[in-house]
A and B are shown apart, each in its own frame.
Chain A
Amino acid sequence: MPSINEIRDEKMVLVQSEICEINEVAPGYCRLQLKAPQIAAAAQPGQFIQVRVGNDVSVDPLLARPISIFRINKEAGSVALLFKIVGRGTKLLASKRRGEKLTIWGPVGNGFEIPEQAKKIALIAGGIGMPPLFCLQEKLSLDPNPPKMILFYGGRTSQDFLEMDLWKKSRVRIKLATEDGSMGFKGFVTDSFVDEHKSEAFDFVIACGPTPMLRAVQKIASLFRLSGQISLESYMACGVGACLGCVCQTEQGSRRVCVDGPVFPIEEVIL
């Protein structure tokens, strides 16, 4: 059973945040840049922000949407989020305009923790699981002696790859995989990862994407005795750890995805 928890992140703040930029980066995908200096100052890759779509008098959509952090700009005091339009809430969010204000709180969650000895890291992204991995590589690249990183990015089709210009400018090597073979490796991103791992042994894996992909990553990691972390996605109500709506099962019992995660050791979660 989980204990009655401590707050892991006392830096969480609730703010009215102005939209500095909003655009549809690909059909069905939206990038949202928010002015939020306190959040930008505290944010770590792997954390997320609760974004409420409705204004002060609106109760529909009722709840905030948890969206992972894509980029952190501490100097400009802003954070960028990248999200997929999946339902009414995200559709309304995508229709907001620059200059409008949103009620947001964050940063929420634990974020990634990369061990110092990790020198060759595989970043495995499935679809809209990509943004936190971009955030992570941006931070790791600032290290004077950064680890070697390879991105394994999977999509159904070539339409599912986002922000490729930014990725190409990064110091990360990129391996794309599509299920329909329209771009890169034809098949699952995890198969592309296994092929690569056989020739160049990774010492750490970070993955974010749909559950079947995470299950495959778990199997592979266990087979090759690789350690790493996975970031989970979940519907949430409170986004502060109170409601227990977003729990996942782990070897240590149930854990809240919002504040005990969203990042968990790869072997710990029962998917």
Chain B
Amino acid sequence: MPQPIMAVEISGLKLKNPVLPASGTYGYGKEYLPFFTPDRLGAVVTKGVSLTPWPGNQTPRIHETPGGMLNAIGLQNPGVGQFIKEAIPFLRRYQTPVIVNIVGKTIEEYAQVAEILNEQPEVSGFELNISCPNVKEGGIAFGVDPLMAALVTSEVRKKTNKPLIVKLSPNVTDIVTIARHVEDAGADGLSLINTLLGMAIDIRKRKPILANLVGGLSGPAIKPVALRMVWQTFQKVKIPIIGIGGICTASDAIEFIMAGATAVGIGTGIFREPLAPVKIIEGIREFLVEEGFASIAELKGVAHC
């Protein structure tokens, strides 16, 4: 029996398989070297990179909840200069596309980071983070308003001809409206979804557990919401979707692909199991063989028929 074709193409990027890390859960790749090398992945999606170093939020920044976790890291990162100096030489060693997640407090900052990184041959594409719920300025402020989302997308679009993927927030009334605005503004792809805004309270201390008071909920608990949003968006947009939200196993990933995702992002699942992305790649391959699919492409969106 011939091996199924695992390769997919997303927004012009050729990926050897459809499994990516979700931004912020994989650092810049080095931390997972004891478990697997970045070239096992379809692409690397980096932690958010801003124009200047961001210190992140106070601690506690994380809290486990049933089937999930809350985080309010606050996009701590060393800034684009340090990223070019340290992360790019590391990632250059591996034969895998690099999608840089970019964050900003203003539209100009997003555009500047994109402009600077557009010059780097190792950067294969961008994921625009307009959906982080944990920073006061920027982030989600751009992701909950269709016109703002479109504006930041088109401004970044002007600075790069590399694939531009926009990561959307689920904390909106209608994700399809945002998705269509972003598509019209020139996005080549969508990442769905970022975390859902939530909170937890310490009843003995009588106050919120997270220093940031609220945080983003991720993990298996949000999977049905994410899947529904991928399903709805797939019906209304033409650009490819990276499905993200609580994927821990190959069957979770397959659900997203059947809902219309071209690729999947593994986030909190990698915290639970550092080898999760590798196991998921193998599990998808086995499923294709078992069910007689010749390629991932054949699987995409089948649940819609």
Assess whether B1 is interfacial by the CB under 8 Å rule: no
Q: Tell me the chain B residues, 54-76 only, with Cβ under 8 Å from chain A.
A: 55-56, 59-64, 66-69, 71, 73, 76
| A107–chain B nearest beta-carbon distance, Å | 11
Whether B25 lies near A238 (C-beta < 8 A) is yes
Most A CB atoms within 10 A — which of B64, B76, B86? B64
Name the CB-closest residue of A to B86: A4
Whether A238 lies near B270 (C-beta < 8 A) is yes
Cα–Cα, bound, A103→B273 (Å): 8
Cα–Cα, bound, A3→B85 (Å): 10
Produce 1/0 per residue, A102-118, CB < 8 A to B: 01010000000000000
Cα–Cα, bound, A253→B55 (Å): 9
Whether B78 lies near A242 (C-beta < 8 A) is no
Whether A238 lies near B271 (C-beta < 8 A) is yes
Whether A245 lies near B62 (C-beta < 8 A) is yes
Produce 1/0 per residue, A215-243, CB < 8 A to B: 00000000000000000001111111111
Q: How many residues of B contact A (CB 8 A)?
A: 45
Q: Tell me the chain A residues, 120-163 only, with Cβ under 8 Å from chain B.
A: none
Whether A4 lies near B67 (C-beta < 8 A) is no
A3-B86, A243-B71, A245-B62 known; A62+B33 contact, CB < 8 A: no
Which stretch, A10-18, A21-29, A75-83, touches the partner chain B?
A: A10-18
Whether A62 lies near B272 (C-beta < 8 A) is yes
Task: Find chain B residues with CB under 8 A from A63 CB.
Answer: 64, 69, 271-272
Cα–Cα, bound, A1→B47 (Å): 15
Name the CB-closest residue of A to B219: A62
Cα–Cα, bound, A73→B115 (Å): 54
| A52–chain B nearest beta-carbon distance, Å | 7
Cα–Cα, bound, A87→B69 (Å): 15
Assess whether B34 is interfacial by the CB under 8 Å rule: yes
A235-B63, A237-B62 known; A242+B55 contact, CB < 8 A: no
Whether A10 lies near B33 (C-beta < 8 A) is yes
Consensus secondary structure, chain A interface: loop
Task: Find chain A residues with CB under 8 A from B268 CB.
Answer: 62, 237
Q: How many residues of A contact B (CB 8 A)?
A: 42
Whether B64 lies near A254 (C-beta < 8 A) is no
Name the CB-closest residue of A to B55: A254
Assess whether B32 is interfacial by the CB under 8 Å rule: yes
A14-B35, A240-B31 known; A245+B82 contact, CB < 8 A: no
Name the CB-closest residue of B to A6: B30
Cα–Cα, bound, A52→B79 (Å): 33
| A205–chain B nearest beta-carbon distance, Å | 25
Assess whether A2 is interfacial by the CB under 8 Å rule: yes
Whether B33 lies near A7 (C-beta < 8 A) is yes
Partner of A242, one of B25, B71, B82: B25
Assess whether A244 is interfacial by the CB under 8 Å rule: yes
| A257–chain B nearest beta-carbon distance, Å | 9
Task: Find chain A residues with CB under 8 A from B231 CB.
Answer: none
Whether A105 lies near B274 (C-beta < 8 A) is yes
Assess whether A60 is interfacial by the CB under 8 Å rule: yes
Cα–Cα, bound, A63→B273 (Å): 8
Cα–Cα, bound, A244→B74 (Å): 10
Cα–Cα, bound, A14→B270 (Å): 13
Name the CB-closest residue of A to B56: A244
A240-B274, A242-B27, A245-B71 known; A254+B76 contact, CB < 8 A: yes
Q: Tell me the chain A residues, 1-57 only, with Cβ under 8 Å from chain B.
A: 1-7, 9-14, 52, 54
Name the CB-closest residue of B to A9: B34
Assess whether A181 is interfacial by the CB under 8 Å rule: no
Assess whether B26 is interfacial by the CB under 8 Å rule: yes
Task: Find chain B residues with CB under 8 A from A4 CB.
Answer: 27-28, 30, 78, 82-83, 86-87, 90
Whether A14 lies near B274 (C-beta < 8 A) is yes
Assess whether B24 is interfacial by the CB under 8 Å rule: yes
Cα–Cα, bound, A245→B26 (Å): 12
Listed from nearest, the 6 A-B pairs whose CB atoms lie closest are A245-B62, A242-B27, A4-B86, A242-B31, A12-B34, A1-B53
- 17 pairs, A vs B, C-beta closer than 8 Å: A4-B86, A4-B90, A11-B34, A14-B34, A60-B67, A63-B271, A63-B272, A103-B273, A105-B35, A235-B63, A237-B62, A239-B271, A241-B27, A243-B62, A243-B73, A244-B73, A253-B55
Binding site for B on A (CB under 8 A): 1-7, 9-14, 52, 54, 59-64, 89, 103, 105, 234-248, 253-254, 259
Binding site for A on B (CB under 8 A): 24-28, 30-35, 47, 53, 55-56, 59-64, 66-69, 71, 73, 76, 78-79, 82-83, 86-87, 90, 219-220, 248, 268, 270-275
